């Protein structure tokens, strides 16, 4: 009974009350203090001390840091050592994992620095050790149970003839050697992205200064115009791209590939299966590429309406040692999940009845000039919409807005 639930909830609130929130203060605009800092990026913090004296170094000491991420992030920064030997680098942004190389420099002496990197996460759980927990006694093997198990096995072996083996005849195993393309695809690409229209394997890229210079003429229908370091890249509509201009409305990838107000591409670009901008692809060294897969047609998995390009960098590229520097591995942000959305780019897909109740969901909306432009396909039965926006403001306060649209 719903009324009983409400009564029980009222009783709970009357007896237990709120421990953190006072409603009178909330109504007056006074919110509970935030005890933890507002995270606006990933922070790397650590301590340094003189390798000989084990004391904090001189005030002119510095830490050189090089960060290389799985998502092609590359950061080189110099952090000053503050009082008590503390240093920090803030506002980093990378996905999955990254390798951090570090080395200290004591400006007033030739002695080195001992550096300790702290974990790059916020530990909000207070650990407590209960000394009153009794120690568990070691378990002894149960001889009776083991004997019963052996007897039961012997019974079934004798009952069903499991102890009487049968010799098989000659067995011929036929194998098929995988091609180099299949081996690299299995090694680099996940199951979702193994199929593609074209797969390119770079043999020697020493003569190319940019990715686009290498791709010119390699993929049929791929138009690359302008500067090879800052080009416009799209698929020709005669070579598998979308032929209906109405389907080329602004997408999240166009927003991502906008440089100085100009849309450089409608193609969805991925490095190691993580969405990136065309600028990040342009900054990639051709010699770092191990595999490239191209889809000219719309890709439902990646939600790419104007084709997609998956670039895989050499494995362990980010983990190669830099001479004279120590290293550690950092955990970055989780890659946002892609919400399934049908793509009506072909006549066949347009004829399918769309009965979806949830039309659009995006956990990482891109905001530019205080505005976010989104696009989605309507279902065949929808006449009214409920738009829900949730997030955090610049002060870390949760926000929520809901509006009905007819």
By C-alpha distance, which of 102, 105, 111, 103 is closest to 52?
111
Q: What's the predicted TM-score (pTM) here?
A: 0.50
Helices marked H in 241-385 = 252-256, 278-282, 347-350
Report pLDDT for 135. Answer: 64
* pLDDT above 50: residue 102: yes
Contacts of 195 (CB under 8 A, 6+ apart): none
Average pLDDT of the residues in 16-31: 73
Report pLDDT for 240. Answer: 47
Cα–Cα separations (whole angstroms), residue 249 to 245, 299, 304, 361: 8, 16, 12, 18
C-alpha–C-alpha distance, residues 346 and 247, integer Å = 10
pLDDT band at 36 (very low <50, low <70, confident <90, very high): low
CATH number assigned to the domain with residue range 180-320, chosen from the 4 options 2.170.130.10, 3.40.50.720, 2.60.120.260, 2.60.40.420: 2.170.130.10
pLDDT band at 402 (very low <50, low <70, confident <90, very high): very high
Beta carbons of 256 and 302 less than 8 angstroms apart:
no
Q: What is the pLDDT of residues 54-83, one digit of tens each?
A: 778 777 788 888 888 877 777 888 888 888
Q: Is 272 left (phi over 0), alpha (psi -120 to 50) or beta?
A: left
Specify which of 40-54, 138-152, 159-173, 243-257 reaches the highest per-range mean pLDDT.
Answer: 40-54
C-alpha–C-alpha distance, residues 396 and 216, integer Å = 46
Averaged pLDDT of the chain: 76
Report pLDDT for 300. Answer: 58
pLDDT band at 131 (very low <50, low <70, confident <90, very high): low
Half-sphere exposure (CA, 13 Å, Cβ side) for 2? 0
Report pLDDT for 84. Answer: 84
Task: Tally Cβ neighbours within 10 Å of residue 196.
Answer: 18
By C-alpha distance, which of 252, 254, 249 is closest to 234?
254
Report pLDDT for 107. Answer: 61
- Three-class HEC string of 160-203: CCCCCCCCCCCCCCCCCCCCHHHHHHHHHCCHHHCCCCEEECCC
Q: What phi and psi, each to the nearest 5 degrees, are found at residue 55?
A: -105, 165
Q: Are strands 97-105 and 62-69 parallel, antiparallel or unpaired?
A: antiparallel
Cα–Cα separations (whole angstroms), residue 189 to 32, 199, 203, 215, 310: 47, 11, 19, 20, 9
Q: What is the pLDDT of residues 207-259, one digit of tens each?
A: 777 888 888 878 888 888 888 778 888 887 544 444 444 444 445 566 667 77
Report pLDDT for 241. Answer: 47
User: CA angle, 86 as apex, 84 and 89 as ends, to 5°?
Assistant: 160
Stronger pLDDT, 402 or 210, i.e. the higher one? 402
Cα–Cα separations (whole angstroms), residue 85 to 53, 56, 73: 13, 5, 27
Beta carbons of 313 and 271 less than 8 angstroms apart:
yes
Q: Hey, where are the domains in the chain?
A: 42-117, 180-320, 353-406
pLDDT band at 332 (very low <50, low <70, confident <90, very high): confident
By C-alpha distance, which of 46, 70, 118 is closest to 335?
70
Residue 274 in tokens: 């993580």
Stronger pLDDT, 285 or 165, i.e. the higher one? 285
Report pLDDT for 221. Answer: 81
First to last CA, the chain: 35
């Amino acid at each position: 009974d719903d009324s009983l639930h409400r009564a029980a909830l009222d009783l709970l609130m009357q007896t237990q009350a709120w421990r953190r929130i006072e409603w009178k203060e909330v109504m007056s605009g006074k919110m509970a203090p935030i005890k933890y800092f507002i995270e606006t990026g990933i922070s790397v913090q650590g301590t340094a001390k003189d390798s000989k004296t084990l004391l904090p170094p001189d005030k002119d000491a510095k830490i050189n840091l090089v960060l290389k991420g799985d998502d092609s992030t590359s950061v080189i920064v110099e952090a000053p050592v503050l009082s008590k030997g503390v240093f920090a680098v803030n506002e980093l942004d990378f996905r999955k994992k990254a390798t951090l190389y570090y080395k200290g420099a004591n400006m007033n002496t030739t002695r080195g620095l001992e550096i300790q990197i702290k974990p790059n996460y916020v530990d909000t759980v207070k650990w407590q050790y209960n000394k009153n927990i009794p120690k568990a006694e070691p378990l002894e093997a149960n001889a009776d149970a083991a004997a019963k198990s052996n007897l039961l096995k012997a019974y079934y072996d004798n009952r069903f003839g499991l102890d009487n083996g049968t010799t098989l005849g000659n067995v011929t195993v036929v194998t098929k050697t995988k091609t180099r393309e299949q081996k690299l695809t299995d090694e680099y690409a996940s199951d979702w992205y193994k199929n593609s229209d074209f797969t390119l394997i770079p043999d020697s890229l020493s003569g190319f200064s940019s990715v686009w210079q290498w791709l010119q003429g390699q993929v049929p229908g791929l138009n690359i115009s302008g500067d090879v370091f800052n080009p416009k890249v799209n698929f020709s509509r005669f070579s598998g791209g979308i032929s209906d201009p109405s389907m080329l409305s602004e997408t999240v990838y166009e927003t991502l590939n906008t440089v100085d107000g100009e849309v450089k591409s409608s193609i969805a670009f991925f490095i190691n299966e993580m969405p990136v901008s065309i600028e990040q692809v342009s900054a990639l060294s051709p010699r770092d590429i191990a595999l490239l897969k191209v889809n000219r047609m719309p890709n439902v998995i990646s939600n790419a309406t104007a084709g997609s390009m998956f670039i895989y960098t050499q494995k362990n590229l980010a983990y190669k040692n830099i001479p004279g520097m120590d290293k550690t591995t950092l955990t970055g942000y989780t890659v946002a999940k892609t919400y399934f959305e049908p793509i009506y780019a072909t006549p066949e897909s347009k004829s399918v009845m769309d009965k979806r109740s949830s039309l659009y969901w995006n956990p990482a909306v891109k905001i530019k000039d205080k505005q976010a432009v989104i696009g989605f396909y309507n279902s065949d039965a929808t006449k009214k919409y409920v738009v829900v926006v949730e997030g955090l403001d610049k002060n870390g306060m949760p926000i929520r807005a809901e509006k009905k649209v007819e």
